[in-house]
Amino acid sequence: MTPKGNIFLFPCPIFEGKTDSLSVEAVKWLHQTTTFVVERAKTARHFIKSTHHPIPIAQLQILEISDDKKELDTFLQALHDGINIGVISEAGCPGVADPGAEVVAWAHRHTIKVVPFVGPSSILLALMASGFNGQNFAFNGYLSNKKPDLITQLKALEQKVQKTGQTQIFMETPYRNAFIIETCLDTLNEQTRLCIACDINAPDEDIRQMRVVEWKKAIKGEYHKRPCIYLIGK
């Protein structure tokens, strides 16, 4: 009986081209993998090529995670033939705020071994650098893009921090940074602590944590169209 293949979860650099943020073990197994399920094929090919994969990109099998569940299911059947499949996110760790979780769930349902590799996660790196509670925290994904709902959500997150000490983490698309920052500063108590972790792992990385009253005096326009993670804590 042919042993089943494994699902390998390969982190992708947060900052394009920064392959040194990956573990040696991850790159070693990436180079031994020829079949991939990815969030976006173009990004994945560029990433795989940047690691100097020994096999030409054109000879690799790459399928995007899409709405076509039947195609994905057929593709994953290769695991039953002993072929390993790598999962790659658009950036960071597969399965964390990422559709790769669907593939991992499929693997568990079919008793396929899942192997995660060490790599950069903007969420954890931001938490590490924030100075906030790292033993009790919650990632809330994207908040509402409608201001009344966003205000309600921010107040609820702030109350959780005040009552439990649980760090609250969320993200936003880069082009809405001004909107999210302005709403945070208008909504949160002036003594509440806010951390903005910007361009994590990039040469111009900027991670700052201060009270809202101090943020109101800081330059805020510099975050326009730059990827950020936001944290509320104490």
Quote the mean pLDDT of the chain: 93
Query: Percentage of the chain surpassing pLDDT 70?
Result: 98
Q: Which pLDDT score is estimated for 219?
A: 76
pLDDT digits (tens, 9 = 90+) for 110-167: 999 999 999 999 999 999 999 999 999 999 999 999 999 999 999 999 999 999 999 9
Query: What's the mean pLDDT in 17-29?
Result: 91
pLDDT digits (tens, 9 = 90+) for 53-106: 999 999 999 999 876 677 888 888 888 889 999 999 998 999 998 888 999 999
Give the whole-angstrom CA distance, residue 170 versus residue 183.
14
Report CA-CA distances (Å) from 189 to 154, 183, 218. Answer: 10, 12, 16
pTM (two decimals): 0.90
Phi, psi angles (nearest 5°) of residue 179: -65, -45
Q: What is the chain's Cα-based Rg?
A: 20
